[in-house]
């Protein structure tokens, strides 16, 4: 979507659809809502008086205006109580505006940002502007590249390709601050949209080699340093864990490294690590057939890291940020790793592979070990669709968060709140470590039924040394049926925007 800012009243601008958010309650209408109501001869006031439009989050009312330099349609969107307003509410409002435009088969939408009085609790102006920009661009994304030409009599709705934002009068930001907020919202959403596109591509398209190709394109576009390791370089690095996962597949694994050097020379970087498992059959410990197609999403963490790197590049972040994506398939053949096999990780620790379906932690182990030794990070954050257990524990609403550094964990929790990609902490107490004890090797790759998400975290911790590190388990949150109006069914691009919010909190 092409997003622009309007420098005059949206009520005297021609647009196919003008969306105006309206707060819940009986307070007199103000701002664009009041003006629009007047232009419509009190239509909104009448709808409010009749109780048909109360300003609740699900409320919407559409009116038509005839001709001239004016919107063709005005859509009032309830936004709930002003006191409950968060950036996420505004992101959703923007998403609803796009969905309505789509339903009307329009390709453009104008959204009037509500005037947010400095009432206690309402989000600040920059965060609001970022949120609506994100909401519009996220909502406009779709994945159509694998469909054949639509039939002439049944075309899908066109994409909403043009978005316009109108600021309220007296908007409390300077022009440069407005531009910064817009730039941030656009970068965050485009990064997330790249992640979504990669998530949607099936295992036969988004192979490890494909992800490496996308990474190289990003490197080209944003002047990142890049490094792609193939199986031979992995063997030289001693990455026995990653190679043991790739062993059963005819697709070659790739180890992807992108470096954005926007900070001072010698400044310790922030390192993002994402699980790039392009299809997880479970290996010899094979998964049941039903729903296995969803395991194309097992590269969601890697996709989010690439998405976050895109956003970092677009913004020219003033800090050193490195993205690392270990990428492999987990499939079966005569060469596949078998339950009971013992492998040697890059770190030198040996692992008894009890269950070949617990492969994510294996490829991440080598990636964390590599990042720790090669980059001496200021902090390292990994994200991975790692355990089914996190779905049991936190459902689809929260990312599982754990780490070795309380300050880092709190930073990520706050970034999750800000971005709407919320995460919730779990403990990594040393007492859990004994669940990984193996009779033959330094550790097993699974810790039994109890605390499955935590024991996966405990496993990863073994490969992080002294580096402040945190882990995001996104198995319950990265994809699914749409959870917000700016989503579609499929991949959500999460936690791209969380990671970007965290990077900003560290670099500005
Ligand atoms: N990719 C899966 C985790 C997963 C499960 C992602 C559900 C998305 C939805 C991971 O590789 C896996 O299979 N984990 C096992 C670990 C177990 C064998 C200890 C799991 O969670 O069942
Ligand atoms: Zn698995
Ligand atoms: Zn997996």
Ligand 2 centre from 295 Cα, in Å? 9
Tell me if 475 CB under 6 Å of ligand 1: yes
**Which pTM does this prediction carry?**
0.98
DSSP string covering 200-262: HS-TTTS-HHHHHHHHHHHHHHHT-EEEEE-HHHHHHHT-HHHHHHHTT-SSPPEEEEEEEE-
Q: Which of 166, 76, 82 is nearest to 116 (CA)?
A: 82
Q: Give percent of the chain above pLDDT 90.
A: 95
List CB contacts of 462: < 8 A, sequence separation 6 or more.
Answer: 347, 349, 365, 443
Question: Which ligand approaches the C-alpha of residue 475 most closely?
Answer: 1
- pLDDT attached to residue 116: 77
For residue 111, what pLDDT band results from cuts at 50, 70 and 90?
very high
Does ligand 1 have an atom closer than 6 angstroms to the CB of 330? no
H helix intervals, 376-493 = 389-394, 406-419, 452-461
287 is catalytic: yes
What confidence tens digit (pLDDT) does each residue in 447-471 have?
999 999 999 999 999 999 999 999 9
pLDDT of residue 428: 98
pLDDT tens, residue by residue, 22-44: 999 999 999 999 999 999 999 99
Is residue 117 predicted with pLDDT exceeding 80? no
* pLDDT tier, 66 (very low <50, low <70, confident <90, very high otherwise): confident
pLDDT at 486 over 70: yes
- For every residue of 90-124, DSSP letters joined together read HHHHHHHHHHHHHHTT-SEEEEEPP---S-TTPPP
Distance 448 CA to ligand 1 centre (A): 13
Reduced 3-state DSSP string for 431-444: HHHHHHCCCCCCEE
pLDDT at 118: 54
From 287, 349, 433, 488, active-site residue: 287
Q: How confident is the model at residue 416 (pLDDT cuts 50, 70, 90)?
A: very high
């Amino acid at each position: 979507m092409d997003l622009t800012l309007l420098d005059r009243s949206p009520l005297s601008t021609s647009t196919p659809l003008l969306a105006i958010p309206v707060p819940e309650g009986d307070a007199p209408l103000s701002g664009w809502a009041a003006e629009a109501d007047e232009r419509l001869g009190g239509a909104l006031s009448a709808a409010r008086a009749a109780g048909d439009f109360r300003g609740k989050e699900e409320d919407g009312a559409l009116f038509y205006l005839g001709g001239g330099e004016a919107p063709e349609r005005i859509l009032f969107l309830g936004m709930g109580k002003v006191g409950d307003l968060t950036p996420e509410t505004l992101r959703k409002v923007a998403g609803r505006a796009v969905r309505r435009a789509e339903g009307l088969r329009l390709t453009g939408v104008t959204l009037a940002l509500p005037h947010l009085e400095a009432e206690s609790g309402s989000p600040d102006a920059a965060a609001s502007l970022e949120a609506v920009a994100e909401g519009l661009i996220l909502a406009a994304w779709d994945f159509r590249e694998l469909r054949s030409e639509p039939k002439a009599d049944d075309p899908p709705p066109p994409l909403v390709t043009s978005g316009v934002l109108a600021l309220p009068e007296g908007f409390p930001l300077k022009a440069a601050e407005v531009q910064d907020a817009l730039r941030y919202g656009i970068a965050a959403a485009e990064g997330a949209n790249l992640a979504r596109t990669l998530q949607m591509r099936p295992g036969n398209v988004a192979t490890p080699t494909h992800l490496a190709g996308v990474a190289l394109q990003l490197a080209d576009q944003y002047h990142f340093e890049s490094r792609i390791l193939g199986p031979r370089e992995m063997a030289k690095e001693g990455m026995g864990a990653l190679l043991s996962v790739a062993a059963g597949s005819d697709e070659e694994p790739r180890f992807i490294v992108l470096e954005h050097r926007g900070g001072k020379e010698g400044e310790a970087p922030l390192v993002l690590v994402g699980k790039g498992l392009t299809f997880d059959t479970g290996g010899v410990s094979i998964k049941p057939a039903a729903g296995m197609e969803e395991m194309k999403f097992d590269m969601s963490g890697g996709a989010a890291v690439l998405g976050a790197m895109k956003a970092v590049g677009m913004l020219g972040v003033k800090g050193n940020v490195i993205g690392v994506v270990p990428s492999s398939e987990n499939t079966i053949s005569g060469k596949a790793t078998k339950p009971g096999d013992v492998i040697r990780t890059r770190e030198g620790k040996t692992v008894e592979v009890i269950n070949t379906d617990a492969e994510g932690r294996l490829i991440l182990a080598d990636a964390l070990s590599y990042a720790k030794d090669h980059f001496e990070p200021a902090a390292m954050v990994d994200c991975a669709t790692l355990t089914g257990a996190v779905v049991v524990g936190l459902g689809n609403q929260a990312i599982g968060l754990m780490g070795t550094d309380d300050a880092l964990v709190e930073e990520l929790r706050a970034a999750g709140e800000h971005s709407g990609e919320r995460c919730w902490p779990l403990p990594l107490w040393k007492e859990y470590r004994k669940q990984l004890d193996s009779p033959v090797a330094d550790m097993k790759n699974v810790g039994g039924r109890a605390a499955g998400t935590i024991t996966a975290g405990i496993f990863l911790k073994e490969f992080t040394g002294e580096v402040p590190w945190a882990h995001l388990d996104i198995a319950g949150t990265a994809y699914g049926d749409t959870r917000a109006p700016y989503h579609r069914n499929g991949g959500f691009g999460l936690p791209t925007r969380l990671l970007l919010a965290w990077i900003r909190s560290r670099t500005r």
